[in-house]
């Protein structure tokens, strides 16, 4: 069940002026659950282009306890697609609705920017993350076989925000047979947990 987020937390939008401080904390928070960390370029890729879609939860000591990182861009010349790339909440803070709050902030920001749909992947075993997103209205659109490096499969979760998006044609065929995955859907990830609260 979703509880109200505790009042001793502050939710803020990422601020590039505080990059060195924020990115370090963010990397620490996210890398904790990863066997292989993302390179700095992954963080920069998102934060330089879509820093305004990144939200942070800070505790009373101004320490980062939760983060969501996302992007928003046209998908293969088709719908304006939001993508929630990373979500993490410090372990001792989980179960308090922090992740839900952060994801809602990201979704609301994307809706404001006229997003057509929002997608993400979660590990099939990560029931907490799946529940979180499904409660928010996401549907599992497909299963991705052995998507992560640990051999676990993933679900693609999709939230449609506007009518008619499903029939927008994209310029690239997402179901093509070639072995290489489409450029913006890398085939694998490390054993990542969608850090979750709620």
120-159 positions binding another protein, by CB under 8 A: 120-123, 129, 131, 134-149, 151, 153-155, 158-159
Specify the residue, 58 or 69, whose C-beta has the smaller distance to another protein: 69
Specify the residue, 60 or 144, whose C-beta has the smaller distance to another protein: 144
Among 18, 163, 170, 171, binds another protein (CB under 8 A): 163
| 183 Cβ neighbours under 8 A, 6+ residues apart | none
Interface of this chain with another protein, residues 14 to 53, rule: CB under 8 A: 19-20, 34-42, 44-45, 48-49
Specify the residue, 61 or 167, whose C-beta has the smaller distance to another protein: 167
The half-sphere exposure of 93 on its side-chain side, counting CA atoms within 13 A, is: 26
Edge to edge, what strands does the sheet with 64-74 contain?
Answer: 10-13, 55-58, 64-74, 80-89, 117-123, 154-160, 139-144
**Nearest-approach distance from CB 60 to another protein, in angstroms:** 27
Q: Which residues, in sequence order, are bridge partners of residue 154? A: 123, 144
Q: How many residues bind another protein (CB under 8 A)?
A: 77
**Nearest-approach distance from CB 2 to another protein, in angstroms:** 7
Specify the residue, 37 or 77, whose C-beta has the smaller distance to another protein: 37
Q: What secondary structure letter does DSSP report for 41? A: H
Distance of CA 66 to the CA centre of its chain: 12
Specify the residue, 60 or 166, whose C-beta has the smaller distance to another protein: 166
Specify the residue, 15 or 173, whose C-beta has the smaller distance to another protein: 173
For residue 116, state whether it binds another protein (rule: CB under 8 A).
no
Interface of this chain with another protein, residues 169 to 198, rule: CB under 8 A: 173, 175-177, 179-181, 183-190, 192-194
The site map against another protein for 65-104 (x = CB under 8 A) is ----x-x-------------xxx-----------------
């Amino acid at each position: 069940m979703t509880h109200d987020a505790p009042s001793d937390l502050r939710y803020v939008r990422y601020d590039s002026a505080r990059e060195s401080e924020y990115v370090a904390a963010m990397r620490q928070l996210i890398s904790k659950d990863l066997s292989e960390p993302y390179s700095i370029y992954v963080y920069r890729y998102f934060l330089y282009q879509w820093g305004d879609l990144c939200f942070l939860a800070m505790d009373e000591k101004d320490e980062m306890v939760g983060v969501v990182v996302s992007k928003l861009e046209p998908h293969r010349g088709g719908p304006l697609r939001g993508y929630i790339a990373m979500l993490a909440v410090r372990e001792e803070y989980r179960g308090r609705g922090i992740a839900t709050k952060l994801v809602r902030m990201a979704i609301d920001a994307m809706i404001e920017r006229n997003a057509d749909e929002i997608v993400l992947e979660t590990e099939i075993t990560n029931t907490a993350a799946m529940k979180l997103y499904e409660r928010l209205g996401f549907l599992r659109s497909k299963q991705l076989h052995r998507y992560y490096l640990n051999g676990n499969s993933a679900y693609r979760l999709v939230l449609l925000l506007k009518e008619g998006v499903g029939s927008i044609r994209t310029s690239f065929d997402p179901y093509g047979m070639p072995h290489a995955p489409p450029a913006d859907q890398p085939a694998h990830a490390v054993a990542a947990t969608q850090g979750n609260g709620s």
